[in-house]
Amino acid sequence: MADFSYDLCVIGSGPAGEGAALTAIKQGWTVCVVDDHDEPGGNCTHWGTIPSKALRHSVRRMVQYNTLPMFRAIGEPRWFSFPEVMKTADGVIQKQVAGRTKEYARNRVAIKVGRAKFLDSNLIAVTAKTGKVTRIAAKHFIIATGSRPYRPDDIDFSDPHIFDSDTILGLKSTPRNIIIYGAGVIGCEYASIFSGFDTRVDLINTREWLMNFLDDEISDALSYHLRDLNVMVRHSEEYAKVIPRDNGVTLELKSGKRIHAEALLWCNGRTGNTNDLGLEALGLEADSRGLLKVNGDYQTSVANIYAAGDVIGWPSLAGAAYDQGRFAASHMCGMADQYRVDDVATGIYTIPEISYVGKTEAELTAAQVPYEIGRAYFKNIARAQISGEEVGILKILFHQETLEILGVHCFGAEAAEIVHIGQAIMSQQGEANSIKYFVRTTFNYPTMAEAYRIAAINGLNRISREHRQVHSR
């Protein structure tokens, strides 16, 4: 017999769970959110996106202070330790928690703290830290439990010199050197963060180039910039053994190389939080990385059980997870206006950052799509010159004949903000989705948005070469 009964029970209070809960409550459903953490927000708020991006922001400001000439008139460069800079994230986390707590309370969403486990498709047991068990029945469930760093069994993560992307936030001092294993999004972000502390970084990439899902030109720019920051990037390497030592960690690679550093940050993959969730009671099974399979409506093979966010894998982005949760709840509520994003913008918070939406050059070439490129370099943009953020490029890919925008790629300061202008035009239909929009629109000056006009003119000039008249003198 259940202690409580609801229309929808959301397991997990991260972005996907929040999006689902608030969408369903607006439709008049009774909703509860179950989370094993005392405060809402999930991994995104407490261990992932928010703390790491707040840390990055503070490091970026420290680097600016230490490199801009005007500050040298005030005094010598100043360096802060990792724990000192990390404290700046605490205030942001508490603001996020307070905002979410207030939103749930205002909308009358019940919060249950404890570990959820399915007993059947309409009933879960929630075990609190005190051991008390509460039974919750619901017509629908959404699994939004997120993910955690993947930990190989042959690495001792209890060693004080070995970290993953969750535990690194508790680092007690700034290492003089660090090995980062895994050059995906998280690994590259932390490589640029630690370089800001003047820490020597060995970035071990198991693939041939950095983040091979990026446009080649953007990947090359990131690789060059990391090396310019004294990050040693090692491609096509795999670990053979991790050896803890009193003075740090030695990493043995299959290629025979041995690398030693004061700390090792493991950033090679993530695992869905589906263990001990009682999936066997539903007849569901997660894959080898703990991820759940869903259909286009985010339903599992059990009709009243949905899943969204990192627990279903790609794209594993906070913004996408929120929208997945909203869409899942819209579908289960039978809403006619179901919201879904096809072209998801990706933001990568290296220093400087990267963002893109749409196709890459390699994808368009493989599909034999005739495209052209428009570029704008930040060094030529007045706003970038004023802010001292001149490293970067905005790149627009568009169809040679229809002029439809096919992809937008940006590398540089505020790239994750800049890309959304291109995303908005890409989402339009017909002639409204044309690179000509940017030459028919007046942009504020000076702004970074002006880069779209510059890139559009650059691209259209390439198209017009074929039709130019040759004048003899």
Residue 313 annotated as binding site = no
Q: How far apart are CA 472 and CA 186, in angstroms?
A: 57
- Residue of 7, 61, 52 whose CA lies nearest to 31: 7
Q: Does 269 count as an annotated binding residue?
A: yes
State how far the Cα of 141 lies from the Cα of 134, in Å rounded to an integer: 16
Q: Is 185 annotated as a binding residue?
A: yes
Q: Is 463 annotated as a binding residue?
A: no
The answer to whether 188 is annotated as binding is yes
H/E stretch holding 435? none
State both tokens at 219: 């990947």
- Is 147 one of the annotated binding-site residues? yes
Helix (H, G, I), strand (E, B) or coil at 418: helix
Instruction: Please spell the DSSP secondary structure of 182-243, one letter per residue.
Output: --SHHHHHHHHHHHHTT-EEEEE-SSSSTTTTS-HHHHHHHHHHHHHTTEEEE-S--EEEEE
Q: Was 187 annotated as part of a binding site?
A: yes
Q: How far apart are CA 145 and CA 451, in angstroms?
A: 39
Enter the tokens of residue 263.
């700390």
- The DSSP line for 244-303 is EETTEEEEEETTS-EEEESEEEE-S-EEES-TTS-GGGTT----TTSPPP--TTSB-SST
Please give the structure tokens belonging to residue 410.
């940006």
Pairing of strands 392-399, 200-204: unpaired
Instruction: Tell me if 296 is assigned to a ligand binding site.
Output: no
Q: Confirm whether residue 114 is marked as ligand binding.
A: no
- Please tell me whether 146 is known to bind a ligand: yes
> Does the annotation place 182 within a ligand binding site?
yes
Residues at the binding site are 53, 145-147, 182-189, 269, 310
From the annotation, which residues make up the binding site for NAD(+)?
Answer: 182-189, 269
Could you tell me which residues are annotated as the binding site for FAD?
53, 145-147, 310
